[in-house]
């Protein structure tokens, strides 16, 4: 199959969506499929693609989306439509898979419908919650109405909608989506998260914060954005510190609220307890999972929370807020603890893992076993079957349409 992923969000923009696209792309390519990614251009994107040896990446002229507190995203210019169509004509895809609802997604949907191509979409983001966070001045009714209307109009143009978890499926059904909906989590590539070497992470950490070496540690990996509930995590560190005075939290990632977080950390006298490691290439994150003791994930807006799976694949127990995607992934206290968004509960479970060696070993082994259900091999099997069934169904519909059309002409 020749498959096109159309997305308004891709590397070097760091996100779970970029990880999802790349993971499935790699899994499909191993099976002999040809996968192309249509995405925005970003500063230094060409350098990033060369360094990471990415192939079949088609970038189009774009501009920054200067949302409140967020200047990282980019949107493809509207005048790129003809170039997108021309490139698709050359590639001749068997199927188009839309990952986002914005400009690139719209172009891809229009092209697929004009060419009668099988069209699949994935709902990655809980936009209703994001709007509430980034645009709190917009009345909730209007925010909800806008998101529901956009979702319904976009996804009902496709042949099938994929969602990572049951709660997101229920959400889209409430939004008025009528096309078939399949649950397909993003897998984690076992080959990427094997052979982790904590010494590699230790060397990097030592260069940034030599005083932290040898101390009990928490880890966060993800975007530094307000929607990730990171102010809560700082409060957790403050509480854990009362029981474990030399606790350290390492934060991997970049984002618009880093300066604000550094200010809060200073106000709470946590400069010796929280360290920012900045951007780390995805294939190197495994070293940090293995080096650190507990992965702490406070986000309440995840559609899946893939990073928790990655942590568990490395045998690092997770303490996560049990809402939306994280709740669906952990399914209870599997590979760690799923807790409510209460500082005391989150902190006490973290302390319990850090202090109880027997419990820690149990949860570490449990994490490795539990995470195997999210292996990319198993999930690519399912995605491949969905693609093949969608192509077959589309061909049958097209033959029926052409037959009916010819009958009317006669």
**pLDDT (tens digit, 9 = 90+) per residue, 342-385?**
999 999 999 999 999 999 999 999 999 999 988 888 899 999 99
| Model pLDDT, residue 127 | 62
* Region of poorest pLDDT, from 41-50, 59-68, 325-334: 59-68
> In the predicted model, what is the mean pLDDT of residues 389-398?
92
Which segments of 174-289 are extended strands (E)?
181-183, 217-221, 248-252, 274-278
Q: What is the pLDDT of residues 66-88, one digit of tens each?
A: 544 455 678 899 999 999 999 99
Tell me what the pLDDT averaged over the chain comes to: 90
**315 pLDDT exceeds 60?**
yes
pLDDT greater than 70 at residue 65: no
Residue 106: per-residue pLDDT: 96
pLDDT band at 151 (very low <50, low <70, confident <90, very high): confident
Burial level of 284, CB count in 10 A (0-12/13-18/19+)?
middle
Res. 39: pLDDT tops 90:
yes
Q: Tell me the pLDDT tens digit for each residue of 234-261.
A: 999 999 999 999 999 999 999 999 999 9
Cβ atoms of 324 and 301 within 8 Å: the answer is yes
pTM of the model as a whole:
0.80
State yes or no: pLDDT of 57 exceeds 80. Answer: yes
Per-residue confidence (pLDDT) for residue 75, from 0 to 100:
87
Strands 74-76 and 62-64: antiparallel
pLDDT band of residue 132 (cuts 50, 70, 90) is: low
Specify the pLDDT at position 408: 64
pLDDT, average across residues 168-186: 92
Instruction: Provide the pLDDT for residue 247.
Output: 98
What pLDDT score does 402 carry?
Answer: 74
Distance, CA of 250 to CA of 265 (rounded, Å): 13
Lowest-confidence pick of 152-156, 169-173, 301-305: 301-305
Residue 291 has pLDDT above 70, yes or no: yes
The percent of residues in the chain predicted with pLDDT above 70, rounded, is: 93
Residue 105 predicted with pLDDT over 90: yes
Query: Could you give the domains of the chain?
Result: 2-187+376-409 (3.40.50.2000), 198-373 (3.40.50.2000)
Contacting residues for 387 by C-beta, under 8 A, at least 6 apart: 1, 3, 95, 118, 120
pLDDT at 248: 98
Give the integer Cα–Cα distance in Å for 123 and 303: 8
Name the nearest CA neighbour of 276 among 242, 199, 264, 18: 264
CA distance 272 to 275: 8
pLDDT band at 266 (very low <50, low <70, confident <90, very high): very high
Asked if 1 and 33 count as a contact pair (C-beta separation under 8 A), the reply is yes
The residue among 207 and 135 whose pLDDT is bigger is: 207
- Mention every residue, 6+ apart, whose C-beta is less than 8 A from residue 231: 261, 264
Predicted confidence at residue 68, as pLDDT, reads 45
Distance CA 317, CA 275 (A): 20
* pLDDT at residue 172 tops 80: yes
């Amino acid at each position: 199959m020749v498959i096109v992923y159309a997305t308004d969000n891709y590397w070097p923009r760091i996100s779970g969506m970029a990880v999802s696209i790349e993971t499935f792309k790699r899994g499909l390519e191993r099976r002999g499929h040809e996968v192309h990614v249509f995405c925005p251009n970003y500063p230094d994107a060409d350098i990033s693609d060369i360094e990471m040896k990415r192939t079949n990446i088609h970038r189009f002229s774009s501009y920054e989306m200067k949302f409140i507190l967020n200047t990282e995203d980019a949107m493809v210019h509207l005048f790129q439509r003809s170039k997108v169509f021309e490139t698709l004509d050359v590639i001749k895809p068997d199927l188009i898979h839309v990952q986002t609802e914005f400009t690139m997604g719209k172009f891809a949907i229009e092209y697929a419908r004009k060419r009668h191509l099988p069209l699949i979409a994935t709902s990655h983001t809980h936009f209703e919650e994001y709007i509430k966070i980034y645009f709190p001045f917009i009345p909730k009714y209007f925010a909800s109405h806008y998101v529901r209307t956009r979702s319904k109009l976009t996804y009902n143009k496709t042949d099938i909608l994929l969602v990572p978890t049951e709660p997101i499926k229920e959400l889209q059904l409430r939004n008025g989506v009528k096309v078939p909906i399949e649950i397909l989590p993003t897998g984690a590539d076992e080959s990427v998260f094997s052979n982790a070497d904590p010494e590699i992470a230790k060397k990097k950490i030592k260069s940034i914060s030599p005083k932290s070496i040898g101390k009990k540690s928490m880890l966060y990996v993800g975007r530094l954005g307000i929607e990730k509930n990171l102010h809560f995590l700082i409060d957790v560190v403050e509480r854990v510190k009362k029981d474990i005075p030399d606790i350290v939290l390492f934060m991997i990632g970049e984002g618009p609220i880093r300066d604000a977080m550094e200010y809060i950390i200073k106000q709470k006298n946590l400069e010796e307890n929280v360290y920012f490691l900045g951007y780390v290439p995805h294939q190197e994150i495994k070293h940090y999972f293995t080096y650190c003791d507990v992965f702490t994930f406070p986000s309440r807006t995840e559609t899946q929370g893939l990073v928790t799976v990655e942590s568990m694949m490395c045998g690092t127990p997770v303490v996560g807020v049990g809402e939306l995607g994280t709740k669906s992934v952990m399914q209870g206290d599997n590979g760690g603890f799923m807790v409510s968004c209460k500082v005391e509960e989150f902190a006490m479970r973290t302390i319990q893992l850090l202090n109880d060696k027997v419990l820690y070993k149990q949860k570490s082994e449990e994490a490795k076993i539990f995470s195997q259900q999210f292996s990319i091999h198993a999930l690519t099997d399912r995605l491949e079957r969905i693609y093949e069934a969608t192509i077959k169904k589309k061909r049958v519909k097209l033959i029926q349409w052409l037959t009916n059309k010819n009958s009317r002409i006669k």
